[in-house]
Structure 1
Amino acid sequence: MKFADTLKILPEFAGEKLVLTDAAGTELATIANAPGTAGSFRVYAYLAQQYGAIDAEAAAEGLAIFAEHTEDASRHPGTHPNIDRLIAILATGTPLNARII
């Protein structure tokens, strides 16, 4: 299934942005709920709701959701930072906490 199709079936989340933190609570990244990143915001919010944190299992599901974009991110590191982050979580097993503001 393509990313756009999967995105349609994910729940919507209200909020301005999603903040990602490490285990110590240090803010590592934000994903705005705005044009250009709203899809990533929705995926990460869904994963956080389902798994409680973005761990390796959540990252694997996230990469499947991003579908064709995951393949492109693998071929062109740095072009999809929100997908790159999931790839790194899957590789290291280091989870991130997420909260919507």
Structure 2
Amino acid sequence: MSFKDILDTLPTIDHLAALELLHGDNVVARIENKPGQAGSVRVYHALFQEFGAIDAIAADKGLRLYAEHTADAEAFPGKHPNIDRLIALVDGGTPLAVRLVAA
């Protein structure tokens, strides 16, 4: 399945303005629910709903959800920071908590 097809199977995010990723009390990333980032909000939101945080197991599933974009991110580090973050988690990075920001 393509990323677009996978997105259609994930829970909606109409109720969110953004999603923040935290390491302890520190916000390490904020992904806005806007064009160009909404797909990532949808992926991270689905992972949070299933796993309760973004750890190596959630990140591994996230890389599968990103489908064809994961290969592009691996080929061009820095091009897809939200995928790069998941790759780092699979490689032993510190798990991240999630804070949902209501719309």
TM-score, normalised by the number of residues in structure 2: 0.94
Percentage identity across aligned positions? Answer: 52
TM-aligned CA deviation for residue 93 of structure 1:
4.2
Amino acid aligned to 1:75: A
- Secondary structure, counterpart of 1:86 in structure 2: helix
The 5 A counterparts of 1:2-17 are 2-13=2-13, 14-17=15-18
Q: Which structure features the higher share of strand residues?
A: 2
- Secondary structure, counterpart of 2:34 in structure 1: coil
- Secondary structure, counterpart of 2:91 in structure 1: helix
C-alpha separation between the residues in 2 aligned to 1:93 and 1:83?
Answer: 13
C-alpha separation between the residues in 2 aligned to 1:98 and 1:72?
Answer: 25
Name the residue aligned to 1:96: 96
The 5 A counterparts of 1:15-54 are 15-22=16-23, 24-54=24-54
C-alpha separation between the residues in 1 aligned to 2:4 and 2:83?
Answer: 15
Cα-Cα RMSD: 0.7
Q: Which structure features the higher share of helix residues?
A: 1
TM-score, normalised by the number of residues in structure 1: 0.96
Name the residue aligned to 1:67: 67
- Secondary structure, counterpart of 1:88 in structure 2: helix
Runs of 4+ with >3 A deviation: none
Show structure 2 runs of 5+ residues with no match: none
C-alpha separation between the residues in 2 aligned to 1:18 and 1:95?
Answer: 15
